[in-house]
């Protein structure tokens, strides 16, 4: 675990990084022209590799749609074999969107995973939930997500984990930080998260106060019509796809399963 007062030089000497999670960490919404996924974790790994004074290796085990139990079962145990200097852990978002899910139970599973990861990695980097205030339909889950965010803060405090507070990041409230589906970050959003994660690890200066890139936005409809259109075009297809477990074959495996040099 990272220790309070640890120097920037010590943190900059990270030689291996393993990213765990779902579509957020896999990099959905941040695609190259040929369709390859990048995402905040790849961007952070690139920054760390360029700054590391030691040979650097990186693995990304995240798979879209994964629930916290699946991440804890499929991905967390791999860390015992890989033994990285740094592991990032972001999970629970898909669980919270499920009807009738218990935030307290999700948080308990999150903490169990953090404890297991801390036994095999020097530093466990964790993430809070996003603030969905500007997202149709999901804004109605804001209280539930806020409660989970409070849980993650408490868990990070108990176990000495550095934390990326996505809820408080103002650039992520700008439309340009999100893909059209409003469920996944855009390339710009992933860049903001990568820079914030680097800053939390002592690797980069503060940049999140910068003005987000402006882009032309469509004329806004009344809120209720926006919600209905977004739910029909994006949320309901995603929800049905997710609940039925219809993942495409190419995303059933992590994109970077082994710790390898960049």
The predicted pLDDT at position 232 comes to 52
Decide if 2 is inside a domain.
no
17 three-class SS:
strand
CA–CA separation, 153 and 127 (whole Å): 9
Domains in the chain, number: 1
Decide if 182 is inside a domain.
yes
Decide if 212 is inside a domain.
no
CA–CA separation, 256 and 247 (whole Å): 18
The predicted pLDDT at position 204 comes to 64
CA–CA separation, 148 and 146 (whole Å): 5
Decide if 211 is inside a domain.
no
With beta carbons less than 8 A apart as the criterion, state whether 90 and 53 touch.
no
CA–CA separation, 193 and 169 (whole Å): 9
Q: Which residue has the tokens 């409003």?
A: 182
pLDDT per residue over 205-239, tens digit each? 645 444 444 444 444 445 555 555 545 544 555 55
Which whole number is the average pLDDT over 48-59? 93
The predicted pLDDT at position 1 comes to 55
Q: Report which of 157, 151, 90, 145 is spatially closest to residue 117, judged by C-alpha positions.
A: 90
Which helix (H) or strand (E) segment is 192 a member of?
A: helix 187-200
The predicted pLDDT at position 13 comes to 78
Question: Domain containing 48: what range?
Answer: 8-206+221-261
Mean per-residue pLDDT of the chain: 84
15 three-class SS:
coil
Identify the burial level of 130 via C-beta atoms within 10 angstroms of its C-beta, where 0-12 means exposed, 13-18 middle and 19 or more buried. Answer: buried
C-alpha distance from residue 261 to each of 18, 43, 52, 159 (Å): 12, 14, 12, 29
Report the relative pairing of strands 57-60 and 256-261 from DSSP bridges: antiparallel
pTM of the predicted model, to two decimals?
0.83
CA–CA separation, 59 and 16 (whole Å): 8
Decide if 82 is inside a domain.
yes
* CATH code for the domain in which residue 146 is found: 3.40.50.1110
SS (H, E, C) 74-93: HCCCHHHHHCCCEEEECCCH
Identify the burial level of 101 via C-beta atoms within 10 angstroms of its C-beta, where 0-12 means exposed, 13-18 middle and 19 or more buried. Answer: middle
Percent share of the chain, pLDDT over 90: 68
The predicted pLDDT at position 2 comes to 46
3-state helix, strand, coil in the chain (%, to 5): 45, 10, 40
The predicted pLDDT at position 220 comes to 47
Decide if 213 is inside a domain.
no
Which whole number is the average pLDDT over 22-36? 94
pLDDT per residue over 149-207, tens digit each? 999 999 999 999 999 999 999 999 999 999 888 889 999 999 999 999 999 999 866 45
Which whole number is the average pLDDT over 124-151? 93
Decide if 238 is inside a domain.
yes
* CB-facing half-sphere around the CA of 225: CA atoms within 13 A: 4
Residue 141 has pLDDT above 70, yes or no: yes
Residue 244 has pLDDT above 50, yes or no: no
Decide if 141 is inside a domain.
yes
């Amino acid at each position: 675990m990272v220790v309070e007062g640890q120097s920037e030089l010590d943190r900059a000497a990270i030689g291996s990084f393993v990213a765990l999670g779902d579509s957020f960490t896999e990099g959905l919404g941040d695609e190259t022209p040929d369709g390859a996924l990048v995402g905040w974790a790849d961007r952070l790994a690139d920054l760390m590799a360029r700054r590391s004074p030691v040979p650097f290796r990186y693995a990304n085990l995240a798979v879209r749609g994964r629930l916290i139990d699946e991440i804890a079962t499929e991905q967390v145990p791999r860390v015992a074999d890989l033994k990285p200097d740094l592991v990032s852990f972001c999970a629970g978002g898909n669980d919270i969107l499920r009807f009738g899910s218990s935030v307290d139970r999700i948080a308990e599973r999150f903490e169990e995973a953090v404890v297991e990861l801390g036994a095999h990695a020097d530093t466990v980097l964790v993430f809070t939930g996003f603030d969905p205030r500007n997202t149709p339909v999901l804004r109605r889950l804001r209280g539930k997500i806020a409660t989970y965010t409070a849980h993650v803060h408490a868990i990070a405090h108990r176990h000495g984990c550095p934390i990326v507070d996505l809820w408080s990041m103002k650039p992520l409230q700008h439309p340009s930080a999100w893909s059209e589906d409003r469920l996944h970050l855009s390339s710009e959003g992933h860049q903001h998260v990568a820079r914030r994660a680097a800053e939390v690890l002592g690797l980069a200066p503060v940049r999140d106060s910068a003005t987000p890139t402006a882009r032309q936005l469509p004329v806004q409809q009344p809120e209720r019509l926006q919600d209905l259109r977004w739910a029909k075009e994006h949320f309901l297809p995603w929800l049905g796809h997710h609940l039925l477990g219809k993942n495409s074959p190419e995303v059933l495996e992590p994109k970077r399963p082994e710790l390898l040099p960049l």
